[in-house]
Each structure stands twice: as C-alpha cells, then as structure tokens.
Structure 1
Amino acid sequence: MQLLSLTFFAVVISPLIVCKETVEDAALLARRLVASQAVGVMATIFPANTSLEGEPFALQEYYANCYSNGSLSLITMPISRHTRNIVHSPSHSASMTVWSTPPAASRARVALIGNVTILDTQLAVDSGIQDCYLQQHPDARFWLPDDPDGAHEAFWARFDPHSVFFVGGFGNKHFIGDVPLDLYQSTVPVDFLGDNDSFIVQGEI
C-alpha cells in the first residue's frame, strides 16, 4: 500500500441560514457539499527534480463519494502530473477545490486534509467501488484500472480525511472552523444518497 497525503477543498450552496450554524450543522453541510459534487480542481507542487521546482500546478480532477464515513474514491494515473508531483514530493501533499455553479464568497467550502491509499483493483471491483465511481463518472469506463484496452495505466485509490475545516460563508451567520473528524465521519447525509446503491462501505476497503 502506498500512502499519499492530500488536501481536498469543496464548495457548494448552503441553505438559507436564519441563525448561526453549529458545528453539527457544519458537519452535515460539509458532507452534503462533498456528496453533491464530483469534480474539482486539484493543485500540487512541482518537485525538486523538475525545472518548475516549487511552482504550483492546478488541473481538473475527478472524485467519487463512495464511502459512508466520508472517504472518497479516486483513480490515480502514473501519467498524471498531479500523481507524479505527489509521489515525488517529500510530504505527498495536494489540495482540491470543488464549488457550485456559480461560485460565490457567501457559499460554503470545506478543506479535507488526509491520506490516499492505493487499492487492489480486484478488491475495488468486488467491493462495489468501481460501480460507485462509474455511477458518478460514466465516462471513466475508458480509463479503468487493469483494463487492457484502457487509455492509460491507472490505479484505484481511497482518500481518508483526518482533518476537516469548514467555512460556511460569511462569519456573522455561518460556521467557520474545525469540524471534529468523528462528527464528520458519523454524519451521513441520507438525503444526498439518492439511488447510489454502492454507498455502503465504511472506509476499510
């Protein structure tokens, strides 16, 4: 197993707030926020072995909301500039920003800091991760891991947040601050599950 440290950011519309949000509200809004989006912009830093050492790099990245504890599913590719930056950086760090359309300063965003674990491909298929990912990203069928006809070499991965920072919007009404990890993981936004039958695993797979 290979561990890569990542930071994820997400942005979505918050419902109308008539009183100041609590940390419990923030946990639910953060989970809804991440569940309602599936594409973000990931940013990484060029490593020391490149001519752009220390420079930031940002590009679109897919994720899928497949775990009931808030972990996320990814497909990583050795050809990806992000993957190479993460693997070759001392801290294996990255950030991802996800937002609603149109974005606005008054709307919520959350920063998830954690680790990525590369998964066994057959285990990902057997556990339903592949089905879940394809449900959210049907076009990913063209670059699935272990597909001999796939566009690129690829691997399944799981992002496990260990720190959550939520900004609900402007601070006079919205929560701004840390959300305890256990609260974030245990707050399941059932109204965002829809017909996602693959949203069943806890993060062990």
Structure 2
Amino acid sequence: MWSLNILAFMKLLLFSLAATLPPSTGFDAIGRASQFPITPNEKAEPPNLQEITTGRSHTASLGNEDDPINKPEYTFPSWDTTHLLARRLLALSTTGVLSTVYPPSSSVHRSSLSGVPIGLPDYIADCANEPSSELEALLGPGNPLILALNVGTTFRNTRAGSNISLSLDWWHRQADGRTGVFGVGRDGVVGGAELPRLSLLGSLVPLEHLSDATRVAVERCFLDAHPDAKFWLPDHDNAVHSGYWAKLVVEEAFWVGGFGDRARIGWLDPETWKLYYAGKRA
C-alpha cells in the first residue's frame, strides 16, 4: 500500500476549495480542483482519508524516461499540477527560511564569514495572488512580500549585494497535532521526507515611493498573516525597528514533492510559475 503522505498532502492543497473547472483547461480532476484562489491566512482543514480513492487507474502522459511506471492505485502528478502545488504551498505559507551570503568584507562580521551562507526564519506573505489587482501589479505574480528590517543579518547581506533564496516546506504541519492525518508513512512512522518542500531563488527588491493607498494595502495584506508585525511597520513613528517593504523576485524555483517514485523533483519553469495565482491559472 502506498504511503498516505503524498495523497493526503495533495488532497489538503488541491481540495481545500471544493470546485472544478471545465475539462477544456487540460488538467486532470485533481489539477482542476486546485485552480481556485486562497488567501495567505486560509485555514486548511485536514482531509478525510476515508474519502481518498485509491482504485483509480489513469494512463499517465509523462514524456520522461525517468518517470516511474504507472501504478493503478496512484496518479503521478503532472508538471502542470506540480506548479499548482508549488504555488499553493507558497500561498499557505506565512513563514520560511531566507538564505543569503555574507559579503567579502564588512565591519559588522568576522572576516572568516565572508562568502559563507546563512539561513534564518522570517515572515513572508503571498499578496500577489489576484490577477490584475493592485498588489499583483506591484509585486508581480509569484513574488512574496517581505518586511525587511535594517537590523537583520539577512537584509544587511542583501544590501551588500547578496542574492536570496526562500525555503518552504510542509514538515512543520506535523507539529500541529495532526500527524495522524498526514505525515505518517506506510509503517506508521512520521516521515517528513515524504512531504513537499520548495526553494525560491532570486533577488530582494525594495518597494519604493509607495502611495498612501498602496502602502495601506501592503500593510493590510501583511498584517492579515502577521498581526504582531504592527509593531515594526516601515515609516511608522512608533516602530521598534526601521525597515522597508520589499519583494522577493523569483528567478528560479526548485521543487521536491516527496519521494521520487511518487512525486516530481526538479526545477520549475519560471514562466509557468507566474501563470498561477495561489492555485488558480491565469
């Protein structure tokens, strides 16, 4: 019997909104069900494993000699569905690990750290998830919003010229008391390695010269995901730290959907990444 991890994860992401699109979109039923927008602070309910259908048989059109053979009890996700899963993972994530590299020289760190990478958890928000919206135009599709604090190591490094990456995963969901629903392998052992993770690579671009209306929209979206961030909002007189709004412009994305015999692993297409808005294709 196949592990329930990937099936449960796909159910959780793709059926969090019960709807389908016309077959003309070219996706299978699972892919179509995923094409509806969600908000960064959406509370996804765990799937009912009794409702998971394991007897479906589909002929996969994979076009890759390295893909696994067809299994009658499991549908190997297409790359289109994989891009949907990745965008929904971003949309459901409000934190991630931001990684940068120490600059060659600096007065604030030891010389032995020059060129050394460092990853630190931070707040993020997927605010560009509605086509033709003000924030989508500001951020660009698939580019998360970040509140950059000048005191932070991550943002000191980016100011010194470092590029940046954002790592996301579904592993932390195991700590919320629902490991009996997902995260348990075929032998009943909790297995985080079977759950998806994503790395977004790019550059940090400050959002400058925002109008009052745009600034309010940015703050509202970020505070929806992180109410406590009200204490360090940029350009507020009572802010604890100085900072600025920025976007992580995604240039590359690497996806590990789980174990390679049942999930996609590899680089996502940057242009296809931009076509989806929190699980809805443009």
Which category describes the TM-score, using the shorter chain as reference length? Answer: 0.7 to 0.9
Which structure has greater strand proportion? 1
Contact 2:90 2:278 in 1 (8 A): no
Give matches, 1:1-205, under 5 Å. 14-15=9-10, 18-49=74-105, 50-51=109-110, 52-68=113-129, 69-89=141-161, 92-100=162-170, 101=172, 102=174, 104-120=192-208, 122-123=210-211, 125-126=213-214, 128-189=217-278
Q: SS at the partner of 2:271?
A: helix
Paired residue type of 2:150 = P
Amino acid at match of 1:164: A
User: Is contact 1:71-1:160 (8 Å) kept?
Assistant: yes
Contact preservation (8 Å) 2:166, 2:201: no
Structure 1: 5+ residue runs without aligned partners?
1-12, 192-201
TM-score between both structures, scaled by the size of structure 1: 0.77
Q: Partners in 2 of 1:43 and 1:189 — Cα distance?
A: 23
Per-residue CA deviation, residues 62-115 of structure 1 (Å, 9 max, x unaligned), is: 1100002211101112111111122224xx223332223237111111221222
- Label 1:56 to 1:189 Cα distance change in 2 as closer, same or farther (>3 A): closer
Question: Match of 1:120, SS?
Answer: coil
Contact 1:44 1:82 in 2 (8 A): yes
Give the length in aligned residue pairs: 178
- Structure 1 residue 57: Cα displacement: 2.5
Q: Which amino acid aligns with 1:115?
A: S
Q: Which runs of 5+ in 2 are unaligned?
A: 1-7, 12-72, 130-140, 175-190
Q: Distance in 2 between matches of 1:44 and 1:186?
A: 27
| Superposition CA RMSD, Å | 2.3
Structure 1: distance between partners of 2:271 and 2:90: 16
Higher helix residue share? 2
What TM-score results when the alignment is normalised by the length of structure 2?
0.58
